[in-house]
Amino acid sequence: MSHSETEALDVESIRDEFPILDREFDGTPLVYLDNAATSQTPDQVIDSISHYYRHYNANVHRGLHQLSQEASIAYEEAHDRVAEFIGASGGRKEVVFTKNTTESMNTVAYAWGLAELGPGDEVVLTEMEHHAALVTWQQIAKKTGATVKFVEVDEDGRLDMDHARELITDDTEMVSVVHVSNTLGTVNPVSELADIAHDHDSLIFVDGAQSVPHMPVDVEAIDADFFAFSGHKMCGPTGVGVLYGKEHLLDAMQPYLYGGMMIEKVTFEDSTWHELPWKFEAGTPVISEGIALAEACDYLDSIGMERVHRHGTELAAYAYDRLQEFDDIEILGPGGDERAALVSFDMDDVHAHDVSEILNANGVAVRAGDHCTQPLHDKLGVSASTRASFYIYNTREEVDALVDALDQARELFA
């Protein structure tokens, strides 16, 4: 499948590659709009997992037998493939497979943060951080005596960059910022934030859980020191996430988890560590999931990330325009053409959980709650919101189905 980067997606053919999209509930077709939580999985990726277990399932690194060699090569090359996907020129040495974005965050927080942070040091986050970053740095700061500060979100749901320039100082050791807000849909100027951080000799960790699945990402163009994302939001399987780190930084860090696979030489007294990235992958790693993640990168590249991006933003803009027609709906975050592929909103008189229950009765799957950004919801004065998030297989008709189901909620609660 090869397409020009300007051609629109052939959504019907894409939908044929996702068997789950055929599901119906009592004759009502599934309208899956919860992609920011997890994306669906194409045949190509499902087949890669099945092929692994049917043909070359074995433990990696240590076996000399044929199956182990095949599994080892595929697993190691998966790191190179993922590195290529995000523009990490150091290849596998800069790509650690973890469980998810949260574990990637914790790996740096424990391995780097516990060693480097102390009283007087500051970690700068934003008010729109996912709990993955917020709770992790908050707790690491408690352990180390460091201080956590938050860049404010303005009324339109964008970062206050003047406040960012004020907060990031020579006391800042780490700036941890979400690339795309999973609640507001805001795309943050991470490259500019990286420049500000580096001007003050701080490192920057970019949470790319909502960006890598949806837009071309080049970690070196951003100049991120660390970057994290999850496989299951980008057509890959659950259970595998990625931590990218600049090689010299990962090299200088001590491991976070100890055990098998991550060692070079072990005596009763001491141990030395395996080379990158394996020193951060203790125990039997996520073999089939890592290989399937590389397959997901192939799948997305076959469509073209520019086109994936355009399709998602066009659907979000369409959803934004349609939802804006209603006086009883308040949309969180910036305007239509500036947002990523999601729209969160609050409906007057109908709680988000009731909204999502009624949408569910119409086959429409959305997320309701605080989307793991509880402090942001507190700041916005919204206890819970409803989020519709889009991907390559969604259509305008599905956005219309969402709007029609909201009408039903409005009538019930009128």
Partner 1 sequence: MGLGGSDMYRQQILDHYKSPRNYGEIEEPTFTHVGENPMCGDTIEMDVVLDDAEETIERVAFRGDGCAISQASASMLSEQLHGMSIEELDEMDRDDVVDMLGVDISPMRVKCAVLAEKVAQDGADIYFGELDVETTRTEEDDADVPDDAQ
Active site residues: 372
Q: Which is nearer to partner 1, 184 or 250 (CB)?
A: 184
Q: Dihedral of CA 209/20/22/1: which sign?
A: positive
Region binding partner 1 by CB under 8 A among candidate stretches 49-57, 186-194, 273-281, 369-377: 369-377
Closest by CA position to 181, among listed 135, 238, 131: 131
331 binds partner 1 (CB under 8 A): no
Per CB under 8 A, the list member of 370, 388, 392, 402 interacting with partner 1 is: 370
- Please state, in angstroms and rounded to a whole number, the distance separating the CA atoms of residues 218 and 380: 32
Per CB under 8 A, the list member of 3, 15, 16, 28 interacting with partner 1 is: 28
Per CB under 8 A, the list member of 22, 166, 199, 357 interacting with partner 1 is: 357
Indicate the SS3 state at residue 301.
Answer: helix
Q: Which is nearer to partner 1, 199 or 357 (CB)?
A: 357
Region binding partner 1 by CB under 8 A among candidate stretches 3-11, 114-122, 135-143, 352-360: 352-360
Per CB under 8 A, the list member of 13, 25, 43, 154 interacting with partner 1 is: 25
Output the smallest distance, CB 335 to partner 1, in A: 25
* One-letter amino acid for residue 235 of the chain: C
Q: Rounded to an integer, what is the distance from CA 380 to the centroid of its chain?
A: 23
* One-letter amino acid for residue 124 of the chain: V
Region binding partner 1 by CB under 8 A among candidate stretches 288-296, 304-312, 319-327, 355-363: 355-363
Number of residues in contact with partner 1, rule: CB under 8 A? 27
- Please state, in angstroms and rounded to a whole number, the distance separating the CA atoms of residues 97 and 252: 18
- Please state, in angstroms and rounded to a whole number, the distance separating the CA atoms of residues 7 and 70: 37
Task: Give the residue carrying structure tokens 């599901």.
Answer: 23
- Please state, in angstroms and rounded to a whole number, the distance separating the CA atoms of residues 402 and 35: 14
Task: Give the residue carrying structure tokens 């087949």.
Answer: 47
- Please state, in angstroms and rounded to a whole number, the distance separating the CA atoms of residues 150 and 129: 9
- The beta strands (E) that lie in 28-151 are given as 28-29, 31-32, 95-98, 122-126, 147-151
Per CB under 8 A, the list member of 79, 130, 246, 339 interacting with partner 1 is: 130
From residue 315, give the alpha-carbon distance in Å to each of 3, 76, 86, 291, 294.
Answer: 20, 36, 24, 30, 27
Output the smallest distance, CB 356 to partner 1, in A: 9
Per CB under 8 A, the list member of 45, 358, 380, 388 interacting with partner 1 is: 358
Q: Which is nearer to partner 1, 72 or 136 (CB)?
A: 136
- What residues line the site for partner 1 (CB under 8 A)? 25-26, 28, 37-38, 130, 182, 350-354, 357-358, 360-363, 369-372, 383-384, 408, 412-413
